[in-house]
Homo-oligomer: A and B are copies of this chain.
Amino acid sequence: MSTVKFTSSDIADLPRRFRARLINSLSGFKSANLIGSTDKNGVFNLAMVSSVVHLGADPALIGMVMRPRVAGMAPRDTIVNIENTGVYTINHVSGAMLPAAHEASANYPSDTCEFAATGLTPFFPNSGFAAPAVAESPLQIGLKLREIVPFAVNGTEFVIGEIVWVRFAEHALQGDGYVDIENLGSIAVSGLDGYHNTTLLGRYSYAEPNEAAEKLPPSGTPNEPVVDLSAYRERKQSS
């Protein structure tokens, strides 16, 4: 079994698209999310993003990398909308909605509503929150913009949002707070265009030095304080 190795100068010399696919594959599996936003004319926008990452739990913060805004080229609708309105949604992509979600990554004109173009359904589960969620998505998050951090190194921008609300099916929430996103049907991304279902190998107990970690039971960590979910349950007609 032979091994290939690419050095920085090898990488610089590769054909452009080959290099893009290679380098996009290297970070490992990624999240698959649709970002929902509203432009200044009230047109809804959807964009597929694979760079959403956890940033902190208290306050609850999520970050994502946005590609550079290039002078003289079409603006990146999502980041402009987030700047203008201060709010957006992050919606997990499931296998069932994948063809439509992938279609949202096409380069539509700014005045096109990607919901209409892809057949996905805008949804507003939180009154007064102006950005559209995706009804077909199994886990939807509403966020308010906290900060946009430009990365001088290549012109990408890191958008940091604070969670205003989050909703998903109750059966996926385990007793200790873990959300079983595999059970929700959320998928993973590889490279620029690979999409994957997952199979749980296990949850592992908190690692202690010189002790083998154990697999957790399906209900989560034992002896955690039980949270009464009735206070967070939505009425059926709104789900």
Chain A residues at the B interface, C-beta cutoff of 8 Å: 1-8, 10-12, 14-33, 50-63, 65, 90, 92, 95, 98-99, 102-108, 112, 117, 125-126, 139, 141, 146-147, 149, 151-154, 156, 158, 160, 162-171, 173, 176-182, 186-213, 216, 220, 224-225, 227, 229, 231-234, 236, 238-239
A190 B182 Cβ-Cβ under 8 A: yes
Q: Is the CB of A149 within 8 A of B151?
A: yes
Q: Which residues of B contact A19 (CB under 8 A)?
A: 57-58, 60, 177
Cβ–Cβ contact A154 & B59, under 8 A: yes
Contact of A4 among B8, B59, B170, B190 (CB under 8 A): B170
Taking a contact as CB atoms under 8 Å apart, the answer to whether B160 and A178 are in contact is no
Q: Is the interface of A mostly helix, strand, loop or mixed?
A: mixed
Contact B11 A27 (CB under 8 A): no
| Stoichiometry (number of copies) | 2
Contact indicator A166/B3 (Cβ below 8 Å): no
Closest to A162 in B: B8
Q: A176, B18: Cβ atoms under 8 Å?
A: yes
**Cβ B31 vs Cβ A27 within 8 A:** yes
**A61 contact set on B, CB distance < 8 A:** 153-154
Report chain B residues within 8 Å CB of A65.
53-55, 63
9 A-B pairs (CB sep. < 8 Å): A5-B126, A26-B163, A29-B29, A55-B65, A55-B153, A98-B201, A99-B204, A158-B158, A182-B196
The one of B3, B22, B103 in contact with A239, judged by C-beta atoms closer than 8 angstroms, is B3
Instruction: Report chain B residues within 8 Å CB of A27.
Output: 31, 33, 52-54, 62, 90
Q: Are B25 and A178 in contact (CB under 8 A)?
A: yes
Residues of chain B contacted by A158 (CB below 8 angstroms):
149, 151, 158
Q: How far, in whole Å, are A59 and B28 apart by their CA atoms in the complex?
A: 18
Q: Which residues of B contact A211 (CB under 8 A)?
A: 106
> In the docked arrangement, what's the CA distance between A223 and B95, Å?
28
Cα distance A112–B18 in the bound complex, in angstroms: 41
With contact pairs A28-B52, A192-B178, A199-B196 given, residues A60 and B8 touching in the complex (Cβ less than 8 Å): yes
Q: Is the CB of B6 within 8 A of A166?
A: yes
Given A4-B168, A106-B208, A239-B3, decide whether A28 and B234 contact each other with a Cβ distance below 8 A: no
